[in-house]
A and B are shown apart, each in its own frame.
Chain A
Amino acid sequence: MVESTSANPALTVLLERWSRGDRGALDQLLTHLYTDIHAIAVRQLNQERYSSLRPTALVHEAYLRLASLHEIKLQDRSHFLSMAARVSRQALVDEARRRQADKRDGGSPVTLSDTNIGDADQAFDAVDIDDLLTELERHDAEAAEIIGLRVFGGLTIEEVAESLTLSVATVNRRWAAGKIWLMRELAR
């Protein structure tokens, strides 16, 4: 990591409180995380205007930066990653919508690659994925959550299972179906 957020001691405190079970610390932590991930995303988007973002890398970068500040307990890792994945989804989609609305940006879309679906370098529109998951949520929140964590956070099957307290077999099965559905809808 080139940059470090170690200048922000508040994060350390928040993480500590959160890992002790203080849920109130979570909101603040999420705000920091959002700002952080959004900033990384925007920077990357501006630098590599025509390539797409890799959300997995984004989430893991956020994780590593925070983890370097504080030793997150191992079992918390997946919880943290799932949280980061949700935040990342929000940040990326917000940014994409802002770009759509802002005419000066030419409405260039935010695309994601390395998303666990399709080939690693296949790029998908972040807003499209978000829309689909929102639609799916109404019918099947659990499936939407699993897909979201896989796509926007790059979590492994095991990490997803752990963070949602589901069996690995269930996640495997649901993800297999979800991936096919998502691929097809995105190809529409």
Chain B
Amino acid sequence: MTLGFDRGQAFHVFERALALSGPARAAFLRESCGENAALRIEIEALLEAAEKDQVHTSLLLGSPPRPIENLIGKCYGHFRLVELVGEGGMGLVYRAERTDGIRQVVAIKLIARELGERGRERFYRETQLLARLEHPAIARLIDAGVEAGRAWIALEFVPGQPIDRYCDANRLPLRARVALLAKLAAAVAAAHGMLVVHRDIKPANVLVTADGLPKLIDFGIATVLHDSSAAQSQTIDVGRLFTPHYAAPEQVSGEPATVATDVFGLGALGFRLLTGQILYPEARGVVGYLLAITQREMAEPSRSAADHGDPRRAKELRGDLDAILCKALDRYPSRRYVSAADMQADLQRYLDGIPVSARKQTVGYRAVRFVHRHLFGVSVAAALICALTAGAVIYGQQAQSVAQARNMAARRDEFLESLLKSADPRSGKRDVSVAQLLDSATQELDRKLSGEPLVEASMLSLIAQTNIGLGRYQEGLAANDRELKILREHGGTALELGQALSTRGELLREQGRWAEADPVVRQAVAVLSSLQVPRDLCGALYLLAVVLQHTDRANEAEATYHRVIEIEERGDTDLKLQRMYPYQGLVILLADQARYAEAAIYARSALELAQKGLADDDPALLGMQWSYAGALINIHRAAEAEPLLRRTIEAERRVLGPGHKDTLIAQRVLADDLLELHRDAEAAAVALATARQFEALLGMDNTYTLAAWNDYAAALCNSHQEEAGLKVLERVDQARRKVYPPGDRYIYTTLLSIGVCHLRLQHYAQAETELKAASQGLEAARGSRYRRTQQAYQALHELYMLTGRSEEAGLWAAKTGP
């Protein structure tokens, strides 16, 4: 994983920062981290770890590394500090007593962070709100203030121990643990009723008194201290304000905390109390948790207990409690309990022996999913055909009356139903009949709609789009040409023109005709920007990003993707779902820049959105699947990718057809995966078939075709058929020099493969020249962390090892990373 900083450097800065405190430390951090946010986050995290470790370290070593200011006896408001009782992420915690004669013991929290003016304002506002929060299971906020720039909070002093330790030390039976959790859920619900979110529910923040009463501490404190005014704080907070193993996915990704975040927190706490395990125990540190929570499935509570040798507990958890915790811990906030009160009610139902709602809904949800799947069994293309044949008039927006429109809709549904009954989505023959339908419809158009040009244009638009879906780009372009001509001649609306231009851009993109696509897409964006049509605008902007990306303007492309995501995020549910496409664009873009870990996160997010909103065999979902598989290969999880890829290819052959571009791309990824797994013969077979199919579909001088031939050659070379591999590579090399500009990385990728072949043939001198040139070229084009660059280094290392030049071998070995 690329960290964005050198770990040795991080140590260096960290150690120096450790010796400083207060403003001196802040100034030093600003100076030494500069714009490097990743380094800054790292140092902050190290300092925080140091803070936690401090008491322990000082005990262990006798001499504390830096003196703790002695504040015992000092006064804050009406309170005098009596004893240091602990320290949290926020700062030191003291036991304190009132100075005005009233007997009251409180816990005073001294906030380590300094608050700016706006932070201070916010601090007063929020603490006033919190002071109103009263509940027997919530430690009350008694007073708060700022003394000499330092904020302090007086909380009800709770003599007790953290809930996890309490449960374990007293060997609390399961029911008692569930009861505690229910009490906490009720307290959280009460706080939510007063619009206060905890944001940091975890065992350390729940103390249980000797009488067995649980109390949530630090309620809302995270919010109070969250200084959203500072621009940089957003990124830094990612590292600071969440606790791995208890934070919700949306917190990890830096989104604002909501009621659902606390529901997740309760779920995570419950998971710990009921199973004895934490979420993703194998994930280490903030980054590890981030990767785990965004990429891996959570173990069901019962399975987690079973895996840790507690079959009895597993049996108790199976069923209701599994369902309750899984619902609270759902990755998507919208699928969790709507409120903490609902969760509390379900826990209570469990205790009362009544069926819980989480379980019923799971069954219901499954039923819904089942229907959903079957409805979408017919591809988008078929649905469009339906509109074509049954509702041509509707599409021309010429429907005479509501009754007529309803009639059309009914006929369309009838048609859909008959299609559902007749066409088995698994027969694979559907595409053929759809294509035939399309062709006859195109011919019919002229005859039937020649007097209504704009209706004809809208039909042509549908035909063009459907042809894209079927991978029939020539037919699509022909229809699009006719459509644009009609729109220009007969004064189509700006929206229609913008849409037609977008379709054209898409057709060109699908064929890799980037240079032609660029002006067309820009025109579409310009036309659509002036209209209030976020969906169409996003479509065109997305296309623009793709074009930019493929013409080596990665920074512009990345910014454009983020612009699309931004617009879509503000849209309705459906538009929000569309984010999967820019996410996926970012996957490819980031992988190109060797930012593999980030790429995998976006790939996973895209796949999740797709799974949420698309049918199981929707071509877009299948695309997300092979994209995620590709991301897995890059983070060295090729073995996991293989079954996913095989499933995907099988589905794509069925849904899109065996010769479709997407199917072929998935096959390419599989070839790559097999190469990575050192199954070279299998890889060669897959690569050869794929290359031939690409060539038949798109011709030889095409980027996709050439990449597939390059795969094949690499596989040949790895399976000791170097001469055959070299022959293929020569063809690829010639064609690539025609297709790509000089200095393009793909030219060097070929050179790398040629070099490796010569290396295997023991033509060392030749190999050395080629590999060196390839490594330099790739490094210049994509940096040293790029997978192919690394492969070039590896090959050079091998070359020098084989020729006994161990010193040079060492140099190249040093450049290869994990």
Interface residues of A (CB under 8 A from B): 131-132, 135-140, 143, 157, 169, 172-174, 176-181, 183-188
Q: How far is the CA of A155 from the CA of B61 in the complex (A)?
A: 14
* Interchain CA distance A179-B57 in the complex, whole Å: 10
In the complex, what residues of A have CB within 8 A of residue B11's CB? 136, 139-140, 143, 177-178, 181
Q: Are the CB atoms of A132 and B7 closer together than 8 Å?
A: yes
A149 to chain B, nearest CB (A): 16
CB-CB < 8 A to B287: which residues of A? 188
Q: How far is it, in angstroms, between the C-alpha of A116 and the C-alpha of B577 when the chains are bound? A: 49
Known A-B contacts: A180-B49, A186-B284. Give 4 more (CB < 8 A): A139-B8, A172-B65, A177-B18, A188-B1
Q: For residue A135, which residues in chain B have a CB less than 8 angstroms away from its CB?
A: 6-8
Is the beta-carbon distance between A138 and B57 smaller than 8 angstroms?
no
- If A177-B14, A184-B49 touch, does A169 touch B7 (CB 8 Å cutoff)? no
Is the pair A137, B8 in contact by a Cβ cutoff of 8 Å? yes
> How far is B18's CA from A117's CA once the two chains are assembled, in angstroms?
19
Interface centre among A137, A139, A178 (most CB of B within 10 A): A139
Instruction: Assess whether B134 is interfacial by the CB under 8 Å rule.
Output: no
Per-position 1/0 for B1-39, Cβ under 8 A of A: 100001111111011001000000000000000000000
Please, how many angstroms separate the alpha-carbon atoms of A172 and B818 in the complex? 32
Q: Would you call B100 an interface residue if the criterion is a C-beta within 8 Å of the partner chain's C-beta atoms?
A: no
Bound CA–CA A179/B18 (angstroms): 13
Name the residue among A174, A177, A185 with the largest chain B CB count within 10 angstroms.
Answer: A177
**Option from A157, A172, A185 in Cβ contact (under 8 Å) with B7:** A185
Report the minimum CB–CB distance from B87 to chain A (whole Å). 15
Instruction: Point out which of A131, A178, A187 has the most chain B C-beta atoms below 10 A from its C-beta.
Output: A187
- Which residues B301-326 have CB closer than 8 A to chain A? none
B65 touches A180 (CB 8 A): no
* B8 with A188: CB separation less than 8 A: no
User: Which of the residues A139, A183, A186 comes within 8 Å of B12, measured between beta carbons?
Assistant: A139
Shortest Cβ gap from B28 to chain A (Å): 15
Q: How far is the CA of A173 from the CA of B60 in the complex (A)?
A: 12
Quick one: which of A172, A177, A184 contacts B45, CB cutoff 8 A?
A: A184
A residues less than 8 Å from B53 (CB atoms): 176, 179-180
Of all chain B residues, the one with the shortest Cβ separation from A169 is B63
Instruction: Provide the residues of chain B in CB contact with A183, threshold 8 Å.
Output: 49
B46: interface (CB < 8 Å): yes
B73, CB-defined interface residue at 8 Å: no
Residue of B at shortest CB range from A144? Answer: B8
Chain B residue nearest to A174 in the complex (CB): B15
- In the complex, the answer to whether B6 meets A187 with C-beta atoms within 8 Å is no
Is A188 a contact of B288 with CB atoms below 8 Å?
yes
A138 to B11, alpha carbons, bound, how many Å? 11
Q: Which of A131, A157, A177, A188 touches B15 (beta carbons < 8 Å)? A: A177
Which residues of chain A come closer than 8 Å to B50, judged between CB atoms?
176-177, 180
Q: Decide if B46 touches A180 in the complex (CB within 8 Å).
A: yes
Is B285 at the interface (CB under 8 A from chain A)? yes
A-B contact pairs, 28 of them (CB 8 A): A135-B6, A136-B11, A137-B8, A138-B8, A139-B6, A140-B11, A140-B12, A172-B61, A172-B65, A174-B15, A176-B50, A176-B53, A176-B57, A176-B65, A177-B15, A177-B18, A180-B14, A180-B46, A181-B7, A181-B10, A181-B11, A181-B14, A181-B46, A184-B45, A188-B284, A188-B285, A188-B287, A188-B288
With both beta carbons as reference points, the residue of chain A lying nearest to B283 in the complex is identified as A187
Contacts of B46 in A (CB 8 A): 180-181, 184
Judge whether A136 and B8 touch: CB under 8 Å. Answer: yes
Shortest C-beta distance, B254 to chain A (Å), equals 19
Known contacts A143-B15, A187-B285, A187-B288; decide if A176 and B61 are in contact (CB<8 Å).
yes
Q: In chain A, what residue has the closest Cβ to B12?
A: A139
CA of A136 to CA of B10, assembled, Å = 9
Chain A residue nearest in CB terms to B9: A139
Minimum Cβ distance to chain A for residue B733 (Å): 33
Across chains A and B, which 8 residue pairs bring their CB atoms closest together, nearest first? A187-B284, A139-B8, A187-B285, A177-B15, A136-B8, A181-B11, A135-B8, A176-B65
- Nearest B residue to A133 via CB reads B8
Complex Cα spacing A72 to B309, Å: 49
Tell me, in angstroms, the Cα distance from A132 to B8 when the chains sit together.
8
Q: How far is it, in angstroms, between the C-alpha of A19 and the C-alpha of B57 when the chains are bound?
A: 36
Q: Are B8 and A140 in contact (CB under 8 A)?
A: yes
Report the bound CA distance from A117 to B63 in whole Å.
18
Which chain A positions have C-beta within 8 A of B284? Answer: 186-188
Tell me the bound Cα distance from A185 to B11 in angstroms. 10
List the B side residues contacting A140 at CB < 8 Å: 8, 11-12
Q: Mark B53-67, 1 if CB is under 8 A from A, else 0.
A: 100010001110100
The chain B residue with its CB closest to the CB of A173 is B65
The CA-CA distance from A173 to B10 in the complex, in Å, is: 17
Min CB gap B813→A, angstroms: 11
How near does chain B come to A6, taking the closest CB pair, in angstroms?
37
**Complex CA distance for A177 and B8, rounded to whole angstroms:** 12
Residue among A139, A157, A181 having the largest count of chain B Cβ atoms under 10 Å: A181
Residues of B within 8 A of A184 (CB): 45-46, 49, 285
Whole-angstrom CA separation of A180 from B62 in the bound complex? 17
**Chain B residues with CB below 8 A from A188, complex form:** 1, 284-285, 287-288
Interface string of B269-285 (1 = CB under 8 A from A): 00000000000000011
Q: What residues on B are CB-neighbors of A185 within 8 Å? A: 7
In the bound assembly, the distance between CA atoms of A131 and B8 in angstroms comes to 11
Partner of B61, one of A131, A143, A157, A187: A157
Which residues of the partner chain A approach B9 to less than 8 Å between Cβ atoms?
139
CB proximity to A under 8 Å, residues B167-202? none
Complex CA gap A174/B6 in Å reads 19
In the complex, A138→B10 CA distance in Å? 12
Q: Residues of A contacting B818 with CB < 8 Å?
A: 131
Most buried by A among B10, B15, B46, B285: B15
Instruction: Write the nearest CB–CB distance from B19 to chain A, whole angstroms.
Output: 8
B residues 420-460 with Cβ under 8 Å of A?
Answer: none
CA–CA, A181 to B61, complex, Å? 17
For B7, the chain A residues whose CB sits under 8 A away are: 132, 135-136, 181, 185
In the assembled complex, the Cα of A139 lies from the Cα of B39 at a distance in Å of 15
For the complex, what is the distance from the CA of A176 to the CA of B66, rounded to whole Å?
11
Complex Cα spacing A123 to B315, Å: 31
Give the residues in chain A near B62, CB-CB below 8 Å: 172
What separation, in Å, do the CA atoms of A6 and B11 have in the docked complex? 44
With most chain A CB atoms within 10 A of its CB, the pick from B11, B12, B46, B62 is: B11
The residue on A at minimum CB distance from B11 is A181
Nearest B residue to A182 via CB reads: B11
Return the chain B residue nearest A128 by Cβ: B818
Q: Collect the chain B residues with CB atoms within 8 Å of residue A177's CB.
A: 11, 14-15, 18, 50, 65
Bitwise, B727-744 to A at CB < 8 A (1) or not (0) is: 000000000000000000
User: B236 to chain A: closest CB distance in Å?
Assistant: 16
CB distance from B247 to the nearest CB of A (A): 16
Per the bound structure, the CA–CA distance linking A157 and B62 in Å amounts to 12
Instruction: State the CA gap A157–B60 with chains docked (Å).
Output: 11
